[in-house]
Amino acid sequence: MPSRIDLTIFWTSECDTMSYYTMYKSEIEEMVINHEWGNQALLFTFVEPETIRQWIWDQFCREPEEIVIDTIKY
């Protein structure tokens, strides 16, 4: 499981902004449990990009237009 994932989030065209966000291990575990059927949370797992997009949308109550994964640290 990664200890950190760095993201660049491009918001919908109505806002025309971007944000940098870092997901740490506890948030990654929470995302896997809530969006990828939690029984895989303790195993090495692949998370679909759509899952990250949905998690960002749930956390910020805003729809991201695009998410770029900048780095993944183990």
pTM: 0.77
Residue 46 has what pLDDT? 72
Q: In the prediction, which pLDDT does 31 show?
A: 85
- pLDDT tens digits for range 31-55: 888 876 655 555 556 778 888 899 9
Question: Is 44 exposed, middle or buried (CB count within 10 Å of its CB: 0-12, 13-18, 19+)?
Answer: exposed
| Domains identified in the chain, total number | 1
> Which residues form the domain of 65?
4-73
Task: Answer for the pair 11, 65: CB distance below 8 angstroms, yes or no.
Answer: yes
